[in-house]
Structure 1
């Protein structure tokens, strides 16, 4: 029996890359999976049901259970439809993996309003919208006496947590927001039987290969891996942590983990580094002399 036997999971952005690996592993471990993916470009343009359908076909061919969904997670009503489809198709919802994302990299001085809104919409609002509707479902279940054992795994990034990346103000801000959203949601939803964690993955995907500075490094690493060797940047190595966080037995909540290849690190947020104090009103010169 798999580690996720009997669980019902919806996974956004699951048609390719990291999300696809999540969906395939979840299905192999016994979960029924709603595979959400609009099938758009890196920048979010267009739509194509093919990627989601292909993952579903692969899961079903292997004996698993899965359905496709092409809703736009940045649309509040679309996120509601996604949650409702999971419940109507499989009778319940136990796990949400928020993974969908796009890139519109550009420097701040040249950024357009549309570039900002699009990235914040898919990443931060997309996480919040799906989380909202899933939380409302789990709250209703808990209030009716059917307390869930549910899990949410969000997707942050080093760009928003540990390594600020020039050209990604929109993406980094969204990912930092997702990390904060994770901690707030963990605090709020524990009373309903819901655990909330996040990952900050590094892997070779369409998005990272298109990231200046990172894409060339990841492509070179792939070429250097011998046949059958351990490819530390393959997206398949991200999924096991997400699957563990989704299991019924996992006790962890309110954490953000960096994960890449053979390494998993727990991350901590903003903290005091140095404090200066005064017993009276601050003077500008005093602050200038004492701040590092």
Structure 2
């Protein structure tokens, strides 16, 4: 049985890498796919409709249904047109996969304002705006008496969950996406929408330098860094069967799926009056002693 048969899916940043594999697997599972991609370079420069068009054509040649969309999802009007294109072409929208992004890595002492703004814009704003317009569509459906079985899958990162040296802009944006996922799950559940996020590890244009040592295919035949390994989780999260799962962040790498456990209330020190500054140090030391050590930041040490 095709687990997404007939469902309409938007995937941003679907012209290459992980997003392309999402698009292909959704199509294999019976979904009708809107392939969104600006066709920019690795650092966000340039623009071309070819990547999105090639993936859409690849899906059609495999017997699936797909259209290409080249709107900028980090603009209000572009994100609105993207959602409208799905409804116009396929009669509705069931799944939004926010995946688009690029890198401009720099140590904090060297990062420019533009490098910060560009990365936060495409990742964080580029998640919010498609989500905002899709949510508006689903809310209207729910109010009309036809509650959807809608799904949003956002793309965070290990850098957003744990931090990553040299990627302050990217890590901050991806951490924001994880928090946005939790808020959206809480707000949109009443309309029949679940919202989850993934933190994938795979070899793409963005990570080719990080995973340079694993570029060669292993002798076993299973490549743990193949971006196709990420798609099965995303496709299942986009299916009707995943309706009981929301507000979660999953890490996925190779054949490993894990559930990321975010910020929680930890040890506490309490008194029934205001703390004196001189007393705070001993209290903090005791809290740190009781708490587990934090996970190491990627690239630190």
If the length of structure 2 is used for normalisation, what is the TM-score? 0.92
Deviates more, 1:181-190 or 1:273-282: 273-282
Unmatched tracts of structure 1, length 5 or more: none
Displacement, 1:273?
A: 3.0
Unmatched tracts of structure 2, length 5 or more: 286-301
Q: Provide the residue aligned with 2:238 in structure 1.
A: 246
1:273 has 2:272 as partner: no
Change over 3 Å in CA distance of 1:138–1:224 after alignment to 2: closer
Contact 1:203 1:235 in 2 (8 A): yes
Change over 3 Å in CA distance of 1:80–1:224 after alignment to 2: closer
* 1:84-163 correspondence runs (5 A): 84-162=84-162
1:258 has 2:257 as partner: no
Q: Provide the residue aligned with 1:175 in structure 2.
A: 174
Change over 3 Å in CA distance of 1:224–1:46 after alignment to 2: closer
What secondary structure is seen at the aligned counterpart in 2 of 1:184?
Answer: helix
Q: Provide the residue aligned with 2:278 in structure 1.
A: 285
Contact 2:226 2:254 in 1 (8 A): yes
* 1:191-230 correspondence runs (5 A): 191-210=190-209, 215=210, 218-223=211-216, 225-226=218-219, 229-230=221-222
Displacement, 1:272?
A: 2.8
CA distance in 2, matches of 1:156, 1:290: 34
Contact 1:158 1:200 in 2 (8 A): yes
Displacement, 1:223?
A: 1.8
1:233 has 2:225 as partner: yes
What secondary structure is seen at the aligned counterpart in 2 of 1:119?
Answer: helix
RMSD: 1.0
Displacement, 1:40?
A: 0.3
What secondary structure is seen at the aligned counterpart in 1 of 2:67?
Answer: strand
Q: Deviations over 1:187-219 (max 9, x none)?
A: 011100001000000000000114xxxx2xx23
Displacement, 1:224?
A: 5.5
Q: Deviations over 1:111-147 (max 9, x none)?
A: 1111111111100000000000000000001101111
Q: Deviations over 1:46-90 (max 9, x none)?
A: 101111111011100010000001111111110000000000000
If the length of structure 1 is used for normalisation, what is the TM-score? 0.95
Question: Paired residues, what number?
Answer: 284
Contact 1:222 1:231 in 2 (8 A): no
What secondary structure is seen at the aligned counterpart in 1 of 2:170?
Answer: helix
CA distance in 1, matches of 2:28, 2:264: 40
Q: Deviations over 1:232-260 (max 9, x none)?
A: 11000000000000111212111000000
Q: Deviations over 1:129-186 (max 9, x none)?
A: 0000000000001101111010000000000103x11111110000000000000000
Q: Provide the residue aligned with 1:19 in structure 2.
A: 19
CA distance in 1, matches of 2:267, 2:169: 29
CA distance in 1, matches of 2:266, 2:106: 31
